[in-house]
Structure 1
């Protein structure tokens, strides 16, 4: 057996065992996080004192939008918790003292499904009679714009990047690497396209057309959401939706945002809109206490486990490609 193949086998074994260990750690930590922990994570913290009968809920979406936890483990940033964020949206909807919602967005986007879940929740907030304002920070791209589009008003900072309206899907062709490592895959399938996104061979033109048709459906939904949310013609949206990023100035000129302002100015405008200049502003304190630490530990373990699984896919050909509302720069 060649040295190259021995190294490949050892590396594959390390990755598989590492994935099992990290998954086990995530499961053990997760077992300690009960419903009572969720309640603690949903505790409120007042950001600005005021009228408690007319309140503004300040929610923040920071990181890649994924069903589990987004963001990089080694980036120094807190991971995005999708389930917790949906709970926050539900809590706001049911709270009759909340008259307005400020959603601070800082994300390159993410999965099409979780982005659509957030979009639906924001629509429900508006239907319940609450005003929803979005303030974009450094980036609110692709899925970040998707969830922002239905807001009553969209504000962005002077240095915000937004747009990237579109859908992307990709996988890695490992076939040459597998060949060099002496790894072969035997595939038994019920139909010609059952392994359509396999990384062990090149895609055919027919397969590319099939996947493109799926992405076109997701893209059409994105276009309609922007059209309805921004009161634009479909023609104008499609012209803007070539995947590019826009500066805040370009976004304002093209009608993708309403104004360029900082967060405090956005809150001031929202207070005026809900006719409550002295409204209390609060946020959900999701990072304090022992349960917050447990969630952080669980997130970190899950992220490392996922990264190991990505590398493991090279050896197992376990491709998990999916449509994404995501800016990949």
Structure 2
């Protein structure tokens, strides 16, 4: 009886959250045309933000900031084509992200003919560091979190919960690994080994990319690639960062290297009305119950493994 009463207490909050979710998506679709990109016409150094989780599509839930690779790649290519732009700064504040999206940004950086500098703010870890390593130079604060060279697969396992409620997972598949990672059954040893092999391969790609980008011996990078992050000062000693500092040091680096007076041009995606409304809804969702909100937002991904670098 107590369990039923506990469940009933969540119903009003759940209904409100569902209504807010539906309204948010409707408004987002209706007003998406008001969003656009912005970059000042004057200036000779492009400043491109890479903030939030790096993903391969511009997908925002409740105004949450993400670094989507199509937008960032487009900004890099536009700056590269602009004859007034002499250098590109990647302003990074990212904990990591999806492997493919990360590689897309990395390739765009390496293809450009302009001087590139990564400016790591609070955090440039995992995929965020992969992007930073693709630049000619890396500037970070002595307190910035960097490195964390590794990969992770995560998913929720509800198999024990289903047993508690006497719910059975009926398994019908074509292809023995088709439901690998489903949250409704425990991961088998063979499946665990397959996923670990996949992770190890991603890890090798990451290590090779950093070694090449930073001109470091692969063996040396492999020893650092434990998944642990390093503060800026330690990262500099290990060869993962070139200069300690912030915006002034970034500007000085470009000024001295190219012998120019640096005038920044910020490339950014303007927030539309949908993003502003989404931000308001996000505050409401937080107080209603962040855990429930996340569960609803990720409901469509129940049979999906999350892979991050």
* TM-score calculated relative to the size of structure 2: 0.84
**Is 1:227 equivalent to 2:230 in the alignment?**
no
Which of 73, 77, 80 matches 1:86? 73
Question: 2:99 — aligned with what?
Answer: 112
**Is 1:261 equivalent to 2:231 in the alignment?**
no
Instruction: Note closer, same or farther for the CA distance 1:66–1:14 as it changes in structure 2 (3 Å cut).
Output: farther
For the 8 Å contact 1:26–1:301, the answer to whether it is kept is no
For the 8 Å contact 1:42–1:88, the answer to whether it is kept is no
Which of 92, 95, 102 matches 2:82? 95
For the 8 Å contact 2:53–2:95, the answer to whether it is kept is yes
Structure 1 range deviating more: 169-178 or 225-234: 169-178
Question: 1:311 — aligned with what?
Answer: 295
* 1:54-93 aligned within 5 A: 55-68=44-57, 79-82=65-68, 83-93=70-80
Question: 1:44 — aligned with what?
Answer: 40
Instruction: Note closer, same or farther for the CA distance 1:307–1:123 as it changes in structure 2 (3 Å cut).
Output: farther
Instruction: Note closer, same or farther for the CA distance 1:100–1:161 as it changes in structure 2 (3 Å cut).
Output: same
For the 8 Å contact 2:49–2:268, the answer to whether it is kept is no
Which protein, 1 or 2, shows the higher relative CO under an 8 Å CA cutoff with sep ≥ 6?
Answer: 1
CA-to-partner distance for each residue in 1:123-143, whole Å, 9 max, x for gaps?
222xxx200001111111001
Structure 1 range deviating more: 163-172 or 214-223: 214-223
User: Structure 1: where are the runs of 5+ without partners?
Assistant: 47-51
> Aligned partners of 1:313, 1:181: CA distance in 2, in Å?
24
> Aligned partners of 2:75, 2:300: CA distance in 1, in Å?
38
CA-to-partner distance for each residue in 1:295-324, whole Å, 9 max, x for gaps?
3435776997x9767525998981322220
Instruction: Note closer, same or farther for the CA distance 1:153–1:15 as it changes in structure 2 (3 Å cut).
Output: same
Q: CA RMSD in A?
A: 3.4
For the 8 Å contact 1:93–1:124, the answer to whether it is kept is no
Question: 2:29 — aligned with what?
Answer: 30
> Aligned partners of 1:29, 1:284: CA distance in 2, in Å?
22
Question: 2:136 — aligned with what?
Answer: 152
> Aligned partners of 1:101, 1:317: CA distance in 2, in Å?
36
**Is 1:270 equivalent to 2:264 in the alignment?**
no
SS in 2 for 1:86: helix
Deviation at 1:204?
A: 1.2
> Aligned partners of 1:192, 1:271: CA distance in 2, in Å?
58
SS in 1 for 2:249: helix
Deviation at 1:164?
A: 0.4
Question: 2:262 — aligned with what?
Answer: 279
For the 8 Å contact 2:182–2:304, the answer to whether it is kept is no
Instruction: Note closer, same or farther for the CA distance 1:268–1:70 as it changes in structure 2 (3 Å cut).
Output: farther
> Aligned partners of 2:167, 2:301: CA distance in 1, in Å?
10
For the 8 Å contact 1:199–1:319, the answer to whether it is kept is yes
* 1:173-252 aligned within 5 A: 173-252=157-236
> Aligned partners of 2:300, 2:49: CA distance in 1, in Å?
37
> Aligned partners of 2:303, 2:179: CA distance in 1, in Å?
9
- How many residue pairs match? The answer is 304
User: Structure 2: where are the runs of 5+ without partners?
Assistant: none
> Aligned partners of 2:233, 2:173: CA distance in 1, in Å?
52
Structure 1 range deviating more: 215-224 or 145-154: 215-224
